[in-house]
Amino acid sequence: MFLSSGKITVLGAGSWGTALAIHLASKGYNPILWTYRQNQLEEMKTGRMNVRYLSQAVIPENIYLSNDLEEAVRDAEIIVTAVPSHTLRKLFTNIKPYMDKSAILINGAKGIDENTLQRTSEIYKEIFNENRNFVVLSGPSHAEEVCEGMPTAVVVASKDKGSAVKAQNILMSSSFRVYTNSDVIGVELAGALKNIIALGTGIADGLSYGDNTKAALITRGLAEMVRLGTALGANPKTFSGLTGVGDLIVTCTSKHSRNLRAGIKIGQGKTVNQALKEIGMVVEGVRTTKAANKLSQITKVEMPITSEMYKVLFKEKAPKQGVIDLMARDKKDEMEEFVWDI
């Protein structure tokens, strides 16, 4: 089943991991799709479908399914991680004994560690002692559309240009356009922070506010993302690209967005735990809100939307009161708050 060379493994059989495996299979590769759940493995093997996470997609026969981590990782040339960001530290630790030093790891998870405030590349470097072969995959790319071959454009970022180009070559197709970017910090932060704003726009929808409100949240949310990103060493121009504006738009407006849907439920009166239970999948924006709120305090970067979101999610503040308090803030000059020159 395995390739004698060029072995590609996708770790994580949620919606994104499954979609990426299907995409790679459509390019003629024979990827391994790994899941830690034995029952999910058996269901996928029997029906060639991932019913819980990506029910509309058929898993091609040239995708090898496994729940043996050593089997999946050993001798792999490319390893794609598509697991919840809060599980990455454990996953990186577990694959380290089996991962070839020349392998390239492409990380598709978007988040910030809520305890250490580390980005995913920083967690990787801590465990592997270097991150030259670490590549971040980000951008507006809902799994439901990727697995159907809908035109999609994304970004791969790495400190090593060669690793980014190799990831670009592996992933790019006529329906999946891939750009490279050297700004790892900006790409990681943009991909994580936009989920906070998507939760906020969902809450606004749940409160039955209109398009004006959503546009204001998206625009002012972008300003917060740029301010924090710049303070942490990102290139502000990254936020005007696919992983910034692009991902922000799709996550704040799409029916596929878990963060948007969770926000809607909270705006309609559900508790955070009730909303998460009903979504039934990881909503990255919740943990990221806690992390970003800490980073805002540490860097002294003003992030009023994030601050209000933190109070709603973790301090039981009424969502409607959060909107009222945002609108009642001191007067500002819009142009004084822009930090990038396009």
SS3 content of the chain, % helix, strand, coil (to 5): 55, 15, 35
Query: Is 194 considered catalytic here?
Result: yes
116 within domain boundaries: yes
Are 173 and 202 in a shared domain? no
Does the pLDDT at position 177 exceed 90? yes
In this predicted structure, what is the pLDDT of residue 330?
A: 82
61 lies in the same domain as 100: yes
Tokens found for residue 155: 């970004």
Do 145 and 232 share a domain, yes or no? no
How is 1-28 classified by DSSP, letter by letter? ---SS--EEEE--SHHHHHHHHHHHHTT
CA–CA distance, 106 with 210 (Å, rounded to integer): 38
Enter the DSSP assignment of 242.
Answer: I
Q: Residue 29 burial by CB count (10 A; 0-12/13-18/19+): exposed, middle or buried?
A: middle
2 within domain boundaries:
no
Residues 270 and 283 in one domain: yes
pLDDT value of position 86: 94
Q: Look up residue 78 and give its amino acid.
A: I
Question: What residue type is assigned to position 263 of the chain?
Answer: G
Q: What is the CATH classification number for the domain harbouring 280? A: 1.10.1040.10
Token pair in block for residue 274: 């009730």
Whole-number Å distance between alpha carbons of 157 and 183? 6
Could you read off the pLDDT of 128-161 as tens digits, one per residue?
998 889 999 999 999 999 999 999 999 999 999 9
* Judgement on whether residues 28 and 122 belong to the same structural domain of the protein: yes
Identify residue 118 by its one-letter amino acid code.
Answer: Q
Does 120 share its domain with 227?
Answer: no
Q: Which two tokens stand for residue 261?
A: 């849907």
Q: Please say whether the dihedral angle defined by the alpha carbons of residues 26, 31, 35 and 41, taken in this order, is positive or negative.
A: positive
- Selected catalytic residue, list 110, 159, 166, 194: 194
Contacts of 5 (CB under 8 A, 6+ apart): 77
Confirm whether 342 is domain-assigned. Answer: no
Range of the domain at 226: 185-337
Please indicate, yes or no, whether residues 14 and 57 belong to a single structural domain of this protein.
yes
Q: CA angle at residue 184 from 221 to 302, to 5 degrees?
A: 30
Hey, is 154 helix, strand or coil? strand
Q: Which tens digits make up the pLDDT trace of 211-228?
A: 999 999 999 999 999 999
Shared domain for 176 and 190, answered yes or no, is no
* Residue 80, token pair as written in the block: 């794609």
Instruction: Provide the 10 A C-beta neighbour count for residue 13.
Output: 28
Query: Has residue 287 been placed in a domain?
Result: yes
pLDDT digits (tens, 9 = 90+) for 92-136: 999 999 999 999 999 999 999 999 999 999 999 999 998 889 999
pLDDT, one tens digit per residue, over 233-266 is: 999 999 999 999 999 999 999 999 999 999 999 9
Half-sphere exposure of 31 (CA within 13 A, CB side): 28
Q: At what angle do helices 284-299 and 184-206 cross, to 10 degrees?
A: 120
